[in-house]
């Protein structure tokens, strides 16, 4: 039976190639069906029978979207029938229809988010309930059968919710075409790890089902190759060190733990951004432009900026569907007005913002996983972002007094390093095997830090030797250079394709051989499962 | 015209890539079959260093085999030349690769294939990767970039190393299992994954093509074997028209004493158990006239030396073998 657990597999490449061939040989109308068939085939290969959750979710948003649209149309029609003088009547009618729409949305959110909560968070809830029961001295334990969770549920559920909210807000028309909506929900390259797309981002491209263009094929292939390099050369190689240190942190000193926190941050970035390269590259082959999920996050000068560059589509989802609605809600508006009077124009709005921000980061933490370390991870970033806003006026004053130019390159460099260190600390808790383990590891960085491990061979205990560290260093520098060029606005893939054919071939061959020779695969390497697929 | 140009471009690119991979493979393939040269599972691959056409019996399988078959005992008792190609957690795709490699220099008459690996599931992708690694060694030996020397660029492979103990690993520890009734009769039949069926069929085809008799063997193991597995392999052996010896069901011919003959609670046999299994397989080969004795033949003179060395340096000195690295199946 076809089984796919990662994009970095022969199975995925075969499925992608087959999809390209069948997509190309069929006429326009059939191409859409080919794409849907391959999308469901991929999801079936990833999650088996659980593909039914995706289909049910699609059917549900299709129906609810039309329902919302009908209510909106009915409301407009009835309002149009009323004369200009019937203002009160109009107001009452609008309120009544708005209430109806809100009821539908509440039902829809409960249905979709409830399903996600039930499948993903029930074991965590039961585990904590049992701990609480045992704490009170009762010897009862709730038992739970293993719940099978479809891979990618956290991604497609957010897409479904975003679609319904956009229909509710009348940003988009409800799609009556089930095929187009199914393509939007199930488009196979992005179903496992995102990016979390909006209907307006991809539905039209998917529906156009244009023929495969040569330049798209080449550009998509280039991006897929680059993703493979990040994952196979770097993320999988670092796994040897990370797996061992996080599971046996008691055996290592603070230096190794700090190094491991940095390595995990690199691994997570290479794994997820590499996957996004494969996903976006695969979509590009079919002429579908997916939104970028990473914008060189390690050039961020603040944590707030970091989250505008890291997992961008998740950040914008939370901003558009949690932060803004909460900030604009009546209770928080009132709170802002009151706080502004008492705390002034800077700190006043911060209070209401903090409430909305708190909700965003609780959701962000929980979205990543059902565990206290994830909640802590969310709260850690909430506190850092809030602190950043609170102390900003003071920081400006201090830098002015010290005659430090905030726009200078050294200061910017300092900010980048500071942000990176904070991100690494957050990732340490994120990866730690439980919150207690996270705190113990963090404590060791300060209480048991020594450079002795640099000399005693500890770093070579994980199945990694000097050459492994060298190749990690070289690859990181290579990606850093590419990132700097991109940050300066250079379009590397475009500039490669403008070169003569011999140089193009040489670059492709070099990249392919680099992956084949320096990739951490075969032998005793165990490839790390795609990290974000589990969220 | 544009399409033609693009197709030509793609063909040139592919041809260039294949050429580069072939050249790189010549560089990365180990130049000798030793650990220092980066040979994979160098002990199991020691048969490549044996004299040409000198190995009549091959034992290909996982740790069940390298713990349970003593080729030098077989030599001493009957003059049969065998080599034990057991590796830890060996997937069947690698078993197939070992058989292919053996045919470069040897013409074995009999292949004993351990059946435990038949139930070690692997994906078709793993099979494809292993086979691709045999065609383009850069895929299997890419990690040798760490140990490349000047000779890797100039020399061609010349495999001349062989393991003195012919692949057998000596263990004497005794740890009896808790449950010895692992073969409870049953009509159930455990299914075999598609990739493994393909591998066993390919092994059988290769054996038929090269006049090798394929015999499936289940080594006694309380923790790895049971009746549904026996039924599954028996059915497969019938389909493939090959012999199947389940030593778990032959207590009289191969009388394993579970209180003395296992080193890890019934998972693997120790030397005492291995001697019994080897004795049985030797008598099986004799009874069925499958191979000839080479005792006294000067071409095989070093086998006597190896046996003496095995008895003094390994058995006599009680030199226990290290644990093997287990190959990742997927």
- pLDDT-derived band of residue B329, with 50, 70 and 90 as boundaries? very low
The stretch A464-483 carries a mean pLDDT of 94
Q: What is the ipTM of this complex?
A: 0.87
Of A214, A501, A524, the CB nearest to B325: A524
Position A407 pLDDT exceeds 80: yes
**Using a CB-CB distance cutoff of 8 angstroms, which residues of chain A are in contact with residue B9?**
501
Of B6, B12, B328, the CB nearest to A526: B328
pLDDT digits (tens, 9 = 90+) for A6-49: 888 888 999 999 999 999 999 988 999 999 999 999 999 988 89
- pLDDT-derived band of residue B330, with 50, 70 and 90 as boundaries? very low
Which segments of A319-460 does DSSP mark as H helices, in order?
324-327, 330-368, 372-401, 409-431, 435-447, 452-455
Residue B96 within a domain: yes
Whether the CB-CB separation of A378 and A365 falls below 8 Å is answered with yes
Residue B142 within a domain: no
Whether the CB-CB separation of A356 and A366 falls below 8 Å is answered with no
- Tokens for A374, please give them: 């994830």
The stretch A524-528 carries a mean pLDDT of 74
| Element housing A496 (H / E) | helix A492-498
Residue B247 within a domain: yes
**Using a CB-CB distance cutoff of 8 angstroms, which residues of chain A are in contact with residue B6?**
214
Residue B242, domain extent: 41-121+159-316
| Interface contact flag, B142 A517, Cβ < 8 Å | yes
Position A276 pLDDT exceeds 90: yes
Mean pLDDT of chain B: 94
pLDDT digits (tens, 9 = 90+) for B165-175: 999 999 999 99
Give the pLDDT score at A6.
Answer: 85
**Could you tell me if B9 lies within 8 Å of chain A, comparing CB atoms?**
yes
- pLDDT-derived band of residue A458, with 50, 70 and 90 as boundaries? confident
Picking from A437, A366, A360, the residue whose alpha carbon sits closest to that of residue A128 is: A366
| Interface contact flag, B24 A517, Cβ < 8 Å | yes
**Using a CB-CB distance cutoff of 8 angstroms, which residues of chain B are in contact with residue A519?**
142
pLDDT digits (tens, 9 = 90+) for B115-140: 999 999 998 888 999 999 999 999 99
Cα-flanking dihedrals φ and ψ of residue B57, to 5°? -125, 130
Distance from C-alpha of B217 to C-alpha of B234, rounded to nearest angstrom: 10
Work out the minimum CA distance from A11 to partner chain B, whole angstroms.
7
* Number of structural domains found in chain B: 1
Distance from C-alpha of A389 to C-alpha of A340, rounded to nearest angstrom: 15
Residue B85: beta bridge partners?
Answer: B60
| Interface contact flag, B146 A465, Cβ < 8 Å | yes
SS3 for B192?
coil
Domain boundaries, chain A: 10-211, 212-294+432-535
Q: Which residue of chain B is at minimal alpha-carbon distance from A12?
A: B125
- Tokens for B147, please give them: 């140990």
Ramachandran sector of residue B217 (left: φ over 0; alpha: ψ -120 to 50; beta: rest): beta
Residue B172 within a domain: yes
Position B6 pLDDT exceeds 80: yes
- pLDDT-derived band of residue A148, with 50, 70 and 90 as boundaries? confident
SS3 for A104?
helix
Compare A279 and A498 and report the one with higher pLDDT: A279
Q: Which residue of chain A is at minimal alpha-carbon distance from B90?
A: A523
Position B144 pLDDT exceeds 70: yes
- Tokens for B37, please give them: 């040269």
Work out the minimum CA distance from B154 to partner chain A, whole angstroms.
19
CATH of the domain at B228: 3.40.50.1110
Which segments of A169-253 does DSSP mark as H helices, in order?
178-186, 199-208, 214-228, 236-247
Picking from B162, B189, B43, the residue whose alpha carbon sits closest to that of residue B106 is: B162
Q: Which residue of chain B is at minimal alpha-carbon distance from A3?
A: B123
| Interface contact flag, B328 A523, Cβ < 8 Å | yes
Could you tell me the strand order of the sheet in which B213-218 lies? B82-86, B57-61, B110-114, B213-218, B243-246
Task: Tell the burial category of A278 from Cβ atoms under 10 Å away from its Cβ (0-12, 13-18, 19+).
Answer: buried
Residue B32 within a domain: no
- pLDDT-derived band of residue B318, with 50, 70 and 90 as boundaries? confident
């Amino acid at each position: 039976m076809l089984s796919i657990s990662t994009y970095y597999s022969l199975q995925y490449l075969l499925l992608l190639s087959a999809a390209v061939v069948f997509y190309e040989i069929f006429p326009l109308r059939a191409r859409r069906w080919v794409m849907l068939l391959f999308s469901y085939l991929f999801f079936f290969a990833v999650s088996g029978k659980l593909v039914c959750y995706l289909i049910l979710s699609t059917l549900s948003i299709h129906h609810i979207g039309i329902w919302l649209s009908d209510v909106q149309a009915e409301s407009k029609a009835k309002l149009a029938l009323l004369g200009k003088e019937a203002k009160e009547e109009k107001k009452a009618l609008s309120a009544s229809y708005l209430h109806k729409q809100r009821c539908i949305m509440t039902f829809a959110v409960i249905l979709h988010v409830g399903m996600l909560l039930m499948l993903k968070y029930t074991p965590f809830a039961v585990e904590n309930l049992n701990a609480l029961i045992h704490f009170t001295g009762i010897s009862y334990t709730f038992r739970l059968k293993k719940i099978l969770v479809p891979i990618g549920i956290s991604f497609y559920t957010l897409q479904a919710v975003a679609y319904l909210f956009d229909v509710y807000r009348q940003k988009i028309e409800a799609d009556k075409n089930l095929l187009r909506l199914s393509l939007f929900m199930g488009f196979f390259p992005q179903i496992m790890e995102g990016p979390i797309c909006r209907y307006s981002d991809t539905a039209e491209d998917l529906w156009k089902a244009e023929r495969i263009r040569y330049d798209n094929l080449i550009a998509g292939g280039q991006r897929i190759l680059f993703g493979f390099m990040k994952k196979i050369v770097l993320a999988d190689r670092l796994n040897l060190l990370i797996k061992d240190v996080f599971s046996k942190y008691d055996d290592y000193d603070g230096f190794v733990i700090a190094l491991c926190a940095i390595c995990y941050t690199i691994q997570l970035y290479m794994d997820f951004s590499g996957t996004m390269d494969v996903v976006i590259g695969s979509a590009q082959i079919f002429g579908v432009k997916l939104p970028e999920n990473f914008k060189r996050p390690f050039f961020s000068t603040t944590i707030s900026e970091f989250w505008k560059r890291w997992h961008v589509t998740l950040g914008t989802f939370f901003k558009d569907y949690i932060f803004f609605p909460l900030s604009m809600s009546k209770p928080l508006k009132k709170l802002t007005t009151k706080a502004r009077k008492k705390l002034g124009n800077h700190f006043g709005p911060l209070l209401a913002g903090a409430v909305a921000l708190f909700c965003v980061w609780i959701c962000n933490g929980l979205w990543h996983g059902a565990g206290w370390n994830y909640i802590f991870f969310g709260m850690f970033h909430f506190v850092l972002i809030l602190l950043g806003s609170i102390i900003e006026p003071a920081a400006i004053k201090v830098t002015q007094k010290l005659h430090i130019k905030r726009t200078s390159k050294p200061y910017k460099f300092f900010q980048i390093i500071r942000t990176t260190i904070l991100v690494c600390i957050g990732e340490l808790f994120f990866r730690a095997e439980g919150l207690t383990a996270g705190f113990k590891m963090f404590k060791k960085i300060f209480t048991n830090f020594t450079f002795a491990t640099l000399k005693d061979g500890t770093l070579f205990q994980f199945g990694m030797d000097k050459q492994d560290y060298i190749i990690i260093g070289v690859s990181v520098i290579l990606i850093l250079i590419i990132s700097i060029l991109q940050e300066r606005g250079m379009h590397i893939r475009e500039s490669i394709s403008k070169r003569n054919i011999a140089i193009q071939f040489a670059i492709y061959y070099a990249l392919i051989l680099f992956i084949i020779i320096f990739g951490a695969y075969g032998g005793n390497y165990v490839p790390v499962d795609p990290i974000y697929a589990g969220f | 015209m544009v399409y033609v140009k693009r197709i030509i471009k793609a063909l040139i690119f592919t041809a260039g890539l294949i050429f580069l991979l072939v050249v790189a493979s010549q560089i990365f393939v180990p130049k000798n079959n030793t650990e220092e040269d980066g040979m994979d599972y160098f002990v199991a691959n020691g048969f490549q260093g044996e004299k040409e056409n000198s190995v009549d019996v091959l034992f290909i399988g996982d740790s069940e085999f390298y713990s349970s078959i003593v080729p030098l005992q077989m030599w001493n008792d009957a003059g049969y030349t065998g080599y034990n190609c057991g590796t830890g957690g060996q997937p069947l795709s690698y078993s197939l690769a070992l058989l292919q490699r053996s045919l470069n220099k040897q013409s074995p008459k009999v292949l004993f294939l351990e059946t435990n690996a038949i139930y070690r599931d692997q994906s078709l992708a793993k099979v494809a990767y292993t086979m691709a690694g045999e065609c383009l060694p850069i895929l299997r030996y890419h990690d040798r970039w760490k140990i490349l020397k000047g000779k890797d660029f100039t020399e061609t492979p010349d495999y001349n190393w062989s393991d003195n103990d012919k692949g057998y690993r000596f263990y004497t520890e005794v740890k009896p299992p808790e449950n010895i009734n692992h073969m409870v009769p049953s009509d159930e039949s455990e299914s075999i994954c598609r990739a493994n069926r393909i591998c066993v069929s390919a092994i059988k085809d290769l054996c038929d093509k090269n006049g090798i008799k394929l015999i499936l063997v289940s080594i006694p193991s309380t923790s790895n074997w049971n009746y549904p597995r026996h039924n599954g392999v028996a059915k497969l052996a019938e389909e493939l028209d090959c012999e199947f010896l389940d030593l778990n069901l032959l207590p009289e011919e191969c009388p394993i004493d579970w209180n003395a003959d296992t080193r890890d609670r019934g998972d693997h046999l120790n030397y005492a158990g291995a001697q019994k299994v080897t004795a049985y397989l030797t008598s099986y080969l004799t009874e069925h006239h499958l191979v000839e004795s080479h005792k006294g033949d000067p071409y095989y003179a070093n086998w006597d030396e190896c046996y003496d060395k095995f008895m003094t340096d390994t058995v006599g000195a009680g030199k226990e073998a290290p644990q093997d690295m287990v190959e990742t199946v997927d």
